[in-house]
Amino acid sequence: MTRVAAAPHAVVVGSGIAGLITALHAVDGGCRVTLVTKDVLEHANTRYAQGGIAGVMFSDDRVEDHIRDTMAAGAGLNDRDAVRVLAEEGPSRIRELVALGVAFDRDADGEFLKGLEAAHSYPRILHSGGDATGTAIEKALVARLRASAVHVIEHAFLVDLVVRDGRARGVDLLIGDAPGRVGRRETIDADAVVLATGGAGELYAHTTNPPVATGDGIAAAIRAGADVKDLEFFQFHPTVLGGSADPSDTGAGDSFLVSEAVRGEGATLIDEHGRRFAFDAHPDAELAPRDVVARAIAHQMERQDGRAVRLDATHLRGTYAERAAFLARRFPTIDAAVRARGLDWAREPIPVTPAAHYLMGGVTTDLFGRTSLPGLYAVGEVARTGVHGANRLASNSLLEGAVFGARAGDVIGQDASARSWPVPTARTTPEPLPIREPVEGSDSTPPSPPFSRRALQLLLWEEAGLVRDEAGLTYAGSVIAAWRRDARTPRTEAEFEDENLLVVAERVVGAALARRGSVGAHFRSDSAAASVDRVPESLPAGAA
């Protein structure tokens, strides 16, 4: 009697666009798929994405232009092959989202509405519900997943990867943890594991990320020995609603992102005297790459003794009533949030400050999500595909999740069945410098403050944030090393999260120390090139 081999089993960790697309493609490819998620399925970073998804969906746009824009925003440090895959396969993945039920906004003739965002040479951004694109995508994909054969485990925290014989063999989970009690530990064996756990915005005192973004997948990959890369490149979104960028403010954690699409519609940044200051940093002013605009805002706030700059939409459209109606229709989510804070942005400019937004680096992958650890894949923000280089182009993140999630989902079954595990090439970026504690009794370094997550967030905001230097990074590294030495063995989900944040923080600081020059989102004030704050006029040969 012939025995039929069991279908390969893949565990996908995370339920944003990348994880959901991967799971759907893998199950369609004949895999048994278990998707585990830290919260409920719907609570992923994807649902917070406002602006939209970029793609060459119009006849007068070109793939080569999308490639060039992506390379320019990334300061030329992008992987050219990955960028080409993104731009060429993006349209088919967007059409797949439409087929899965995502209703992108259209005009009266049924054509997609176009949106413009910073550093794009063409208005190629599709949006849904005005400024609720992420929510629309998440809802549609979750509905399709629940109707599929994918097995779902919610409230399941990734403690670690299971590695045997040099290959990822499953996941160690903490399930059902809650305040006052510790959840149960459970191990799930698998032929392949996919990390789709998102980023690490909780490293910083100001972030647009939800509280679940604690670097869990990156930390687990580091402990398992997988290669990580480009962790010094952390993007700060220029415009988050708020009156102060002082991270000690009690309301600093309530960061509500004001989409770049608002500036794409014509809103401007002004100082306390009403002057458009962004031209001082870049000829594209408010529509320059995010790192340039964010630093321009931070610099202006220093000149204003920490007071926020203003985002001015009061000149959009005609009368006040027309303007208010347009803002409510085009940006309903932002409009509601602004008005809930007692502000009328149709009548007066609103205060904005930068906040940590997106990690360009992560677990190193090839063009199909494969990592340096056989059997382990990574997709979405947790992955370093090379698409973003030193600075992500606006609205490429959802596209990356869809494109590379589909690619990973399509090859997992083939790899597992063939027991073939190709791995990415070796790193080409500087090795992180080792972080050491100060010598006991030395007066050269101040004593470390007691550890708390807030203390870590404040430390990285001050020393490894928008602007860094060797002295601050060295101090941050010594504090993190002391905290790691004194950390107790975690038992609860919050304690595991703290451990993960420390692991990732150590690598972020080490990578920032190793890269001594300024490029993209990594800005060293002690670099000889620190005054160079613009996208290069020309890109390396072959960049487009």
Instruction: Return the closest-CA partner of residue 430 out of 226, 223, 230.
Output: 230
Query: Quick one: DSSP state of residue 396?
Result: -
Query: Quick one: DSSP state of residue 135?
Result: H
Q: What is the pTM of this model?
A: 0.90
User: Which residues face 297 on adjacent strands?
Assistant: none
What is the tally of structural domains in the chain? 3
- The last residue of a domain, from among 305, 324, 356: 356
217 and 249 co-located in one domain: no
pLDDT given for residue 427 in this prediction: 55
Q: Looking at this protein, which amino acid is placed at residue 418?
A: A
Q: Which of 47, 290, 323, 407 is catalytic?
A: 290
110 and 258 co-located in one domain: no
Q: What's the rounded Cα separation, in Å, for the pair 287 and 276?
A: 12
Tell me whether residue 30 is in a domain.
Answer: yes
pLDDT in tens, 401-458: 999 999 999 999 999 888 777 777 655 567 777 666 655 555 555 677 899 999 999 9
On the question of pLDDT at 484 being above 90, the answer is yes
Tell me whether residue 506 is in a domain.
Answer: yes
406 and 453 co-located in one domain: no
pLDDT in tens, 367-407: 999 999 999 999 999 999 999 999 999 999 999 999 999 99
Residue-wise over 311-330: b if at least 16 C-beta within 10 A, else e? bbbbebbeeeeebbebbeeb
327 and 439 co-located in one domain: no
Asked whether 226 and 503 are in contact (CB, 8 A), the reply is no
pLDDT given for residue 529 in this prediction: 55
Tell me whether residue 437 is in a domain.
Answer: yes
Tell me whether residue 386 is in a domain.
Answer: yes
Tell me whether residue 68 is in a domain.
Answer: yes
Query: Is 290 in the active site?
Result: yes
Q: Looking at this protein, which amino acid is placed at residue 38?
A: K
On the question of pLDDT at 88 being above 70, the answer is yes
23 and 157 co-located in one domain: yes
Q: How confident is the model at residue 306 (pLDDT cuts 50, 70, 90)?
A: confident
Enclosing domain of residue 437: 431-531
276 and 412 co-located in one domain: no
| Domain harbouring 267, CATH code | 3.90.700.10
pLDDT given for residue 441 in this prediction: 52
pLDDT given for residue 50 in this prediction: 78
pLDDT given for residue 244 in this prediction: 47
Q: What's the rounded Cα separation, in Å, for the pair 82 and 70?
A: 11
Tell me whether residue 484 is in a domain.
Answer: yes
| Domain harbouring 524, CATH code | 1.20.58.100
- The last residue of a domain, from among 356, 371, 400: 356
pLDDT given for residue 10 in this prediction: 97
User: Which residues face 307 on adjacent strands?
Assistant: 244
What mean pLDDT is predicted for residues 490-511?
96
381 and 342 co-located in one domain: no
74 and 172 co-located in one domain: yes
The DSSP code sequence of 313-337 is -TTSSSSHHHHHHHHHHH-HHHHHH
> Using N-to-C axis directions, what is the helix angle for 17-28 and 133-146, rounded to 10°?
30
On the question of pLDDT at 313 being above 80, the answer is yes
411 and 502 co-located in one domain: no
pLDDT given for residue 539 in this prediction: 38
Percent of the chain with pLDDT over 70: 89
212 and 291 co-located in one domain: no
24 and 55 co-located in one domain: yes
112 and 153 co-located in one domain: yes
Asked whether 413 and 30 are in contact (CB, 8 A), the reply is yes
Within 8 A by CB and 6+ apart from 448, the residues are 478, 479, 482, 483
pLDDT in tens, 133-163: 999 999 999 999 999 999 999 999 999 999 9
Tell me whether residue 9 is in a domain.
Answer: no
On the question of pLDDT at 16 being above 90, the answer is yes
Q: What are phi and psi of 311, to 5 degrees?
A: -100, 120
